[in-house]
Structures are given as structure tokens and as C-alpha cells.
Amino acid sequence: MPPDIIIHQGHVNNGTLTIGDVVEAEVDGERRFDIARNHTATHLLQSALRQVLGEHVQQGGSLVASEQFRFDFSHLIAMTPEEIEEVQHIVNQRIRQNLPVYDEEIDYKKAIEEGAIALFNEKYGDTVRVLKIGQPSISTELCGGTHVSNTGEIGFFKIISESSIGSGLRRIEAVTGRGAEVFIEKSFSQWREIAIKLGATPDNIAEKVDSTISALDIEQKNRLAEERKRARKEVEYLLTQVEETSNGIKVISRSVDSFRPEVLREITDLIRDQLKSAVVVLGTIYEDKPAFVAMVTPDLVARGYNAGNIIKQVAAVTGGGGGGKATLAQAGGRFKDQLDAALHTVVDLV
Ligand SMILES: [Zn+2]
């Protein structure tokens, strides 16, 4: 067997390096331990996934960093929140059981016979290192990585996301140890911040959100009621603004205060009920843009007038468009300053 080759990658910050120089290498112990915790956790995770989801779970790949790790695996559908919880629980239970983590150098064929998990597209030598967890082992994998010596050293395991990365492939991102501490601290401080904003405590946030939403609903309803009250006043005013064309058709074409589109339509309904026969085009600035509603009473539709056609031409003056039925149509525009000019065209159109 050829000797193992160990490669270190480095970065020269200052000075020079030549072949034959003697260097002193130093392991960043904390970082390495963070990585070891995450790595051993991938083995526990794989074993728990197989237990909860089934033996079809195969590792696709993994990325073990110091802050967190990800684990890709074959599974057809998204995990349910209950499955995620169960996997998390199993892994944490095995962490608390403080199971021994140990390796054995054995013959490759024997390892596979024993049921060791190997990566599909990985090449292995005749003798392999098998990493086992627990006695009897609850996880046996071919692995050359750095591990903790007892699962208790992992401290705590938390899945932070589960997602799809392609058909039949899922990805879990998780944290352990110090990474889990950072994650949980951050989550809690977010909770606290949200609670303060809502005037709640972290314990009653959900209740507070519910009551805030219903308060907003009430506020919305009150605002709509206010708007409708304003709309009635507007109708009174508009009824004094009726023009009559040379062929005797009553026309109202005015800009009004800002109303939401549904209230604008209600205004034309109220006018129709009063005038019985008329062409009404109203324009307003809603959410900072021109908005129009056109209404033609059925008797005038029978004479060839069409709200959809009228509004198309009116809205075009403000750089917009729209349409609708012959009796009722709506449109939006772009240029606010053209609102009055647009409304002035109505009488000529009728
Ligand atoms: Zn491994």
C-alpha cells in the first residue's frame, strides 16, 4: 500500500517559502473541534433519517463547516414538521447517551458485509476505516474524517432547514455545539425583539399577534366605513355637477377625492340610482396614480354607448388603459397631472 499523503493548504502572508524549508504547523483546536462535532452529527443524522424515513435514504453529499453543516440525501418528498422533530429528537437522545465514537481498520469486503455505509461514487482501498458509534453500534460508516470521541461532546443538535435540491434529493442544514448556541441565542433575541414590538412577552406572542390582527381588521373596517360616509357626501356634490349634451344625455365627469376602486364604483351606483339615465366618469388619484370608473345606464347602452370604450379613451390621455363591461368599466393611468384633461374629453366622447 502506498504511504498516505497529507496535504496542507496555506497562505503566505509575509516572507517567502522555498522547498526544503521547515515549517511549524498548528491546528486551530477550537475550529477543528467544531468541525468534528458537526461531522459526527452527520453520521447520527444519517442513522436517524434511515430510522424515521426508511432505508432508501442515501447520502448524496455533505458539507461540514465549523458553524454549521449540510447533509444531502435521497428522499422523494419534503419531510413533515413531525418527521423533522423526530429525527432531531433521536439525534439529541443519542448525544445525551454519550455513546462512544471509535474506528476500526478492516477489510473492505468485510465492512460491506457488516452493513457499513459507503458512498456510491467513492473509491476505497482494500483496508478501510470504519467509523462506529455506540456499542452495539447504531451507525457504521466508511469514513476518514475527524470525529469527537463521545457523542456527548456534540452538545446539542438542531435542524435549521430542510429543502429540495432537485428531484428526489433533499438537503438538511443543521447546527451543533457552539453553532447551535449561537443559533438559539439569535432566535431568542429575535423573539424578544418581536415581543417588545408587539407589547407582548415571548410566551404570549401568538395570542398578541392574533389580537393585533383582529384590531387591524377592525381598523380596516372602520376606515372603509369612513370612506363610505365621505362617498355619500361626494355623491351629493356630484349630483349638482350634471351636464347635458346637445342630444339630451346627462353626463357627470369629475375628479373626486381619493377613494379605493370599490368605493368609487359604489359612488357611480348611487348616482345611477338617482339619475336613472346618465353617463358617469369619475377620476381620482389612488395610491399615487390616476384611477377611473365609468358607468353607463342600460338605456344608454341600448343606444350604443359603452363604458368600456369610453374609459379606454379617457385613460389613454393619462398614459394608461383598462376596460370592462358596457355598463361599468375601470381603468388606471400613469400621469397624475393629466387627470383633469382626461376627464374633459368625456363630454365630447358622448
Ligand atoms: Zn464521516
Q: How far apart are CA 328 and CA 295, in angstroms?
A: 5
SS (H, E, C) the chain: CCCCCCCCCCCCCCCCCCCCCCCCCCCCHHHHHHHHHHHHHHHHHHHHHHHHHCCCCCEEEEEECCCCEEEEEECCCCCCHHHHHHHHHHHHHHHHCCCEEEEEEEEHHHHHHCCCECCCCCCCCCEEEEEEECCCCCEEEECCCCCCCEHHHHCCEEEEEEEECCCCEEEEEEEEHHHHHHHHHHHHHHHHHHHHHHCCCHHHHHHHHHHHHHHHHHHHHHHHHHHHHHHHHHHHHHCCCCEECCCCCEEEEEECCCCCHHHHHHHHHHHHHHHCCCEEEEEEEECCEEEEEEEECHHHHCCCCCHHHHHHHHHHHCCCEEEECCCEEEEECCCHHHHHHHHHCHHHHC
Q: With CA atoms as reference, report the closest residue to 318 among 339, 299, 302.
A: 339
> What's the CA-to-centroid distance between 118 and ligand 1, angstroms?
10
Whether 315 contacts 292, CB under 8 Å: yes
CA–CA–CA angle 45, 47, 49 (5° rounding): 65
> What's the CA-to-centroid distance between 107 and ligand 1, angstroms?
18
> What's the CA-to-centroid distance between 45 and ligand 1, angstroms?
11
Query: Domain 29-196 belongs to what topology?
Result: Threonyl-tRNA Synthetase; Chain A, domain 2 (3.30.980)
Grid coordinates 504511504 are at which residue? 3
**Identity of residue 32:** R
The CB density around residue 330, as the number of other CB atoms within 10 Å, is: 19
The whole-number pLDDT of residue 346 equals 87
The whole-number pLDDT of residue 121 equals 66
Which CATH class, in words, describes the domain spanning 228-349?
A: alpha beta
What residue spans define the domains of the chain? 29-196, 228-349
> What's the CA-to-centroid distance between 278 and ligand 1, angstroms?
80
> What's the CA-to-centroid distance between 145 and ligand 1, angstroms?
5
Q: Does the pTM of the predicted model rise above 0.75?
A: no
> What's the CA-to-centroid distance between 140 and ligand 1, angstroms?
10
> What's the CA-to-centroid distance between 162 and ligand 1, angstroms?
20
202 alpha carbon, distance to own chain's centre: 23
The whole-number pLDDT of residue 74 equals 95
> What's the CA-to-centroid distance between 131 and ligand 1, angstroms?
7
Whether 208 contacts 198, CB under 8 Å: yes
The Cβ-side half-sphere exposure at 30, using a 13 Å CA radius, reads 3
The whole-number pLDDT of residue 272 equals 92
pLDDT tens digits along 114-152: 888 877 667 778 888 999 999 999 999 998 889 999 999
> What's the CA-to-centroid distance between 33 and ligand 1, angstroms?
14
> What's the CA-to-centroid distance between 143 and ligand 1, angstroms?
5
Question: Can you give the pLDDT of all 350 residues of the chain as single tens digits?
Answer: 455 677 878 888 998 889 998 888 888 999 999 999 999 999 999 999 999 999 999 999 899 999 999 999 999 999 999 999 999 999 999 999 999 999 999 898 888 888 888 776 677 788 889 999 999 999 999 988 899 999 999 999 999 999 999 989 999 999 999 999 999 999 999 989 988 988 888 788 888 888 888 888 898 899 999 999 999 999 999 999 999 988 889 999 999 988 988 899 999 999 999 999 999 999 999 989 999 999 999 999 999 999 999 999 999 999 998 888 999 999 999 998 888 889 988 888 88
